[in-house]
Amino acid sequence: MKVSVIFSTLIALLLSPFAAAALAEEYQLNSQDRVLLRVMRWDLETSTYVLWQGISGEYALSDGGILRVPLVGQVPAAGQEIGVLSDELERRLRRQAGLSEPPDVAIEVIGHLPVYVLGEVASPGAYPFRPGLSAEQALALAGGFLRVPTETLNTSGSNIGVLRLAGEIRLLDAQLAVLENERARFVYDLQGLEPESGGENASVLPDGLQGKILVSARSARDAQGSRIADLKEVLRSQVEHLGAQIELRTNQIEITRQDLESVSTLKERGLAVNTRVSALTNSLNDLEAKRLQLEIARLTAEQQLNLAERDALSLVGDARSDALEQLNRIENDIVRLRTQRHNAETLYDEAVAAGLVTGSSLTGELVTQFRVTRGAGSVATAIDPTARLQPGDTLFVHRHRLEAPVSD
């Protein structure tokens, strides 16, 4: 019969005197954990428990969370509690070795993958994992929040540096607001330039100066488009008129050529004079010359019509390309100014924390955001400060200020 629970507990305590038993029972194994197995089996000759050599030793879970043990083979271990895994190994060892009583398996976790702490921390890097490690505890391991030197802000006991910093933040806010409005203008304009939009916009026309600039630019573009459309209509009418003139001259040429052939036949018979033949020949040559002029004029009008149609297409295409180019510039400027503002805001908050200024003139609550990536190819997910981490997690720490609610 299997030894009593008390005896098994004593064995486990003797084998791992420094393990926190309750925490170990709660801990679920993770991939690449390193564990120490101590397997005790009953020796009939000595009537005592002995260490099972060849089975006992250090093992590492694979990337897929598999534990490979001699005699047992592969055991899915990731996500298993230590007690559950111990029972499973005992059952398998008893069956494989043909034992009358199962051995006692004690498992001790002796190593984990580290956790990686990045972002706005004093000392980003890899830190040892321990079961129960939370996000805020990992932040503490990394030295807390990034501290910015504030000595230059308090020269000769004055707060000029702090006041200048607050002014810089307000200036950056104003510049960002201008860029945001400018971006809204180009986004609104682009929506109207899309072929499927039909000139309609889903968003609201920006207010203020940017809205006036947009209305003026669209009016100028619409006026130019109207002029091109009018020119195209005139050129189409001209092409049609010249085509009709060419057709008329072609008919006249055909009639004159027939008359010339008839008169030439009569002349050969002596029934017509040379002057009549010469007159018809000159008339035919004149009609053909005029038709050639008309064909050249029609070709010129068609070329001008093609240019007008190209200009109509370029008007929208150039406007779209220019808007996209300006949007790219604005986005880069916004990123740059936001970075400057974040750095200035961090330095200002440090000055407040250091007591260089009483209270904060910045609106909005300063909050800390924790995000974690778990496993290859995973997406960063927001977690609570008290959320427990797992071995191999990458923790990102970011502080930002919430926008203050607008008062009615």
Report the 3 state secondary structure along 189-220: HHHHHCHHHCCCCCCCCCCHHHHHHHHHHHHH
Give the model confidence (pLDDT) of 229-284 as tens digits. 999 999 999 999 999 999 999 999 999 989 888 888 887 777 777 888 888 889 98
Q: Taking a C-beta distance cutoff of 8 angstroms, is the pair 379, 373 a contact?
A: yes
Query: Minimum mean pLDDT among 101-110, 135-144, 349-358, 360-369: which range?
Result: 349-358
Determine the angle formed by the axes of helices 160-193 and 274-353, rounding to 10 degrees: 150
Q: In angstroms, how far is CA 32 from the centroid of its own chain?
A: 31
Q: What is the pLDDT, as a whole number, of residue 192?
A: 82
Confidence of residue 2 (pLDDT cuts 50, 70, 90): very low
Average pLDDT, the chain: 83
Rounded Cα gap, residues 106 and 87, in angstroms: 10
Q: What is the pLDDT, as a whole number, of residue 270?
A: 75
Confidence of residue 134 (pLDDT cuts 50, 70, 90): very high
Confidence of residue 353 (pLDDT cuts 50, 70, 90): low
For residues 205 and 235, the model is more confident at 235
Output the CATH code of domain 112-150+359-407: 3.10.560
Rounded Cα gap, residues 87 and 108, in angstroms: 14
Percent of residues, the chain, with pLDDT higher than 90: 44
Q: What is the pLDDT, as a whole number, of residue 359?
A: 57
Confidence of residue 360 (pLDDT cuts 50, 70, 90): low
Q: Can you tell me which residue has the tokens 């020119």?
A: 231
Confidence of residue 356 (pLDDT cuts 50, 70, 90): low
Output the CATH code of domain 28-111: 3.30.1950.10
Beta pairing, strands 394-401 & 115-119: parallel
223-346 CATH fold: Helix Hairpins (1.10.287)
Q: What is the pTM of this model?
A: 0.51
Q: Taking a C-beta distance cutoff of 8 angstroms, is the pair 208, 181 a contact?
A: yes
- The domain segmentation of the chain, as residue ranges, is 28-111, 112-150+359-407, 223-346
* pLDDT above 50: residue 18: no
Report the amino acid identity of residue 393.
Answer: D
* pLDDT above 80: residue 129: yes
Give the model confidence (pLDDT) of 73-103 as tens digits. 999 999 999 999 999 999 999 998 888 888 9
For residues 57 and 399, the model is more confident at 57
Span 65-70, mean pLDDT?
Answer: 94
Q: Can you tell me which residue has the tokens 């026309």?
A: 205
Q: Taking a C-beta distance cutoff of 8 angstroms, is the pair 52, 40 a contact?
A: yes
